[in-house]
Chain A
Amino acid sequence: MSSSDTPPSLYAAREPVFPRRVSGFFRTLKWWIMAVTLGIYYLTPWIRWDRGPEMPDQAVLVDLAGRRFFFFWIEIWPHEFYFVAGLLIMAGLGLFLFTSALGRVWCGYACPQTVWTDLFILVERWIEGDRNARVRLWNAKWSLHKARLRITKWTLWALIGLATGGAWVFYFTDAPTLLVNLVQGTAHPIAYSTMFILTATTFFFGGVAREQVCIYACPWPRIQAAMMDEDTITIGYREWRGEPRGKLRKGETNPAQGDCIDCMACVNVCPMGIDIRDGQQMECITCGLCIDACDDMMAKIGKPRGLVDYLALKDEVDERAHRKHAPIMKHIFRPRTILYTALWSVIGFALVFALFIRPEIDLTVAPVRNPTFIVQSDGTVRNVYDVRLRNKQGEPRPFGLPIDMTALFRGPITGPKFFAIIASFFVVIITVNVYLAVSAVRTFPGLEVKNSYVASQTFDAEKAAQLALGWNVGAVVHKDGELVLSITDTDGNPVEVQSVTGIFGRATNVRDDQTPKFVFDGSVYRAPVTTAAGNWNLRLEAIAQDGTPFHQRVVVIVEH
């Protein structure tokens, strides 16, 4: 419970984030990726692709009414939906691959939430100025000036949202026609409502919610921890180089201080509103802007770049110890990423293969099961089949359906045919069973005891007598193929027995069984044996000088 008397607030207010402008390698990369991804999204519906008469000429089109999906020269029908499933699996594996290799690159560079938020912040900066101006405006009271800036910004955001929602609906019907209809007000209400909803969500997610979508709504930041390991390249702060941090005047140097001059550049540019110097954080989308900001500052104070940088967690240990860390390729190529790539490629090849072998014309025949057959008045039986044709060629085609019954299935399956099927079934089963039974019996190591009841009558007495001997038995096979058996008494002295014999063989079958001829050399018993590496048992039978029998199974692990 909170220690204070006032109950805690039910809600947490959002702390506004005002990312500062930054330039550098990663910022430029992000501009390019934004231009390419948004360009693809906005322009794709306008690409034309001639498929002949009576077919839509839009390169990428989801024809919901006709239940077809067009992608340039590829046309997908509902029964080929596995392509979509396969692509989704590939997208998932691709995400795993990139996350385990490069951390949250998807989040930082390609995710629509990131890209649109970036665009919205760009607009915001154009209208309202950079960070400091925006902070001032945020804190300022409402005035004509503030209202003008806000309304201009919101209008531009709404226009971007409208284009975004518009681009979406253009994927579902002929784009030029729809655009004319939209302008004339004759388009379907669903087109308008979809555009309205997507405009509103784009405005809300890109303009208002921003980083909160990543922090609160998106499941991926929570899953990604499981996809990353110490080899994953991610953004980190070289704390061993930067600390202890401290301000530095121009031209001043302080050898006791680390490289970090606590200028807050990395914090001010962060679109997530975090401090990368606090270490790995769930909020970090690894957009790389803090690297640009810090590199810029390091150049100004004449220090090497990379105080904040892409690095693997493993490198940290090496760098702290002033060792050179492993090359980047060594981090990226590891069993995990190779496995993801392999799986990804297998599915990709399978899909491409399936794409080339799929038929343009398709015919399925299925027996009608309601009823399964119809008896005619002359006693003959009529079977009914459902024939389905699919013609994806987009032009009329004649179909013929010849009927050819093979001899095996002509007529009813009765008498000899049925017997042959059942007999071959049992022949297979019996053959397999006999083979397994014979193999089992052949390799059976043998009886332990002929009659357990008879054996039990003397077992306790024999056991007591054997234990009374107090022998300690050990066996080992030397490299030269000599089995050495040692029998010692309670004092550790070797025991000479009346007779010693036994069976030396494998634990599981009798194929390699042999009877070693033991010779006592005064301390141990030696016998030549033929062995291979593995688990061997010596089933020892000895008789002591006083006539007490001694049985023991000695396990011998042979390693050569």
Chain B
Amino acid sequence: MSKKPEKKEVGTTGHSWDGIEELNNPLPRWWVWIFYATIVWGIWYTIAYPAWPLLKGATEGYLGYSTRAEVAADIAAVDAKNADLVGKLEAADLSALSGDAELYQFAINGGRAVFAANCSQCHGSGAAGAKGYPNLLDNDWLWGGSIEEIAFTVSHGIRNEHSPEARWTEMPAFGEILSKEEIAAVVEHVRAISGQEADAALAAAGETVYLDNCAACHGDAGEGSRDMGAPVLNDAIWLYGGDVATLTETVANARFGVMPAWSEAYHPAGGLSAAEINAVAAYVHQLGGGE
């Protein structure tokens, strides 16, 4: 048979397994050239593009390419595209916002991002809140649930030192005013008006204490007051908890929940623009509890 003998005359690597020897076949030429080409490419790349780490940052590369600059340019391009809508949103009449479908959709989508970046740390990514941080999905609002009220709360915050218009009231710590027995009684009364299990005799005694000390802000029947930011006590929603121990702690030591003023006027480093505040207000308003 006519083999091609000149092709078979390659040596072996000297490795032998059970008599099977490994031929030392050379690599195909094109493969070798591609291998060399990748080396040349690699050298060129480290010169042309940011590559070598130095003490402060890395070499910038001959082409001056930067992913950061590319992202900044992309963001600027998107901003330019949205400039029109952002301007409209900034000046929008919030109560009529849902009438403009395009602007409303823009506000909700933008608001979702603003919420995730700035609000979710306390209020939760699903806006369900946590102990001491209100749930924004239910129909109970401390300071008001209309879209304007929400925007105001976001702008100025609650009980902070930054905005002069921050919503501000303070519950006294009744541990220094009332006796332990009176506190126990008023806790039972609050439990009774909120429809929870309560000691009837204690609750009856607590009613007087309640009317004397608490009703001014929380209302005679526990209906709360939005002017005072006083929570409704005769419903099923509790900011800190409706059990005896938590209520006793709340009455004795009071609570002082703080929310920052998010307007960039009071929060220079990371505040929100007027358009962003309107957007996040629109987003929170449509989550299910808005009024």
Contacts and interface: CB of A to CB of B under 8 A. Distances in A.
A117 to B, nearest CB: 16
A275 to B, nearest CB: 7
A213 B285 CA distance: 63
B2 A376 contact: no
Given A1-B13, A262-B2, A371-B128, A377 B140 contact: yes
Contacts of B137: 371, 374, 382, 384
Interface in B29-50: 29-33
A374 B288 contact: yes
Contact of B28 (A216, A377, A378): A216
For A277, A377, A382, the residue with the greatest tally of chain B CB atoms inside 10 Å of its CB is A377
A14 B237 CA distance: 82
A14 B128 contact: no
Contacts of B12: 1
Given A1-B11, A10-B27, A374-B137, A382 B125 contact: no
B235 A10 contact: no
Nearest to B33: A11
Given A1-B11, A2-B24, A262-B2, A14 B236 contact: no
Contacts of B5: none
Nearest to B237: A377
B26 A216 contact: no
A376 B128 contact: no
Given A12-B25, A278-B1, A370 B125 contact: yes
A158 interface: no
A368 B126 contact: yes
Contacts of A275: 2, 4
B14 interface: yes
Contacts, number: 85
B219 to A, nearest CB: 14
A379 interface: yes
Contact of B128 (A3, A209, A374): A374
A394 B232 CA distance: 51
B81 interface: no
Nearest to B2: A275
B100 to A, nearest CB: 21
A209 B28 CA distance: 11
B26 A8 contact: yes
Contact of A216 (B24, B31, B236, B237): B31
Contact of A375 (B28, B33, B236): B236
Interface string A1-44: 11110001111111000000000000000000000000000000
B195 to A, nearest CB: 7
B263 interface: no
B119 to A, nearest CB: 14
B140 A370 contact: no
Interface residues of A, number: 29
Interface string A275-301: 101100000000000000000000000
B118 interface: no
B126 A14 contact: no
Contact of A378 (B24, B25, B235, B288): B235
B212 to A, nearest CB: 26
A377 B24 contact: no
Interface string B114-137: 000000000011101000000101
A443 interface: no
B143 to A, nearest CB: 15
A377 B139 contact: yes
Given A216-B31, A377-B140, A10 B126 contact: no
A499 interface: no
A218 to B, nearest CB: 14
Contacts of B4: 275
Contacts of A382: 137-138, 288
A8 B128 contact: no
A212 interface: yes
Given A1-B14, A14-B29, A379-B195, A8 B1 contact: no
Contacts of A278: 1, 3
Contacts of A212: 28, 30
Interface in A255-290: 262, 275, 277-278
Nearest to A374: B137
A379 B13 CA distance: 82
B113 to A, nearest CB: 16
Given A3-B11, A378-B235, A9 B26 contact: yes
Contacts of A376: 138-140, 236-237
Given A1-B11, A277-B1, A370-B125, A375 B237 contact: yes
Interface string B64-96: 000000000000000000000000000000000
Contacts of B195: 379
B10 interface: yes
B135 A374 contact: yes
A366 to B, nearest CB: 14
A13 B33 CA distance: 11
A16 to B, nearest CB: 12
Interface string A305-342: 00000000000000000000000000000000000000
Given A10-B32, A371-B128, A384-B137, 6 more contacts: A1-B12, A1-B13, A8-B11, A11-B29, A379-B235, A382-B137
22 contacts: A1-B13, A2-B11, A9-B26, A10-B26, A10-B27, A11-B26, A11-B28, A11-B33, A12-B29, A209-B30, A275-B4, A278-B1, A368-B126, A370-B125, A370-B126, A374-B128, A374-B138, A376-B237, A379-B195, A379-B236, A382-B137, A382-B138
Q: Which 6 A-B pairs have the closest CB atoms?
A: A2-B11, A370-B126, A371-B128, A379-B236, A377-B235, A11-B29
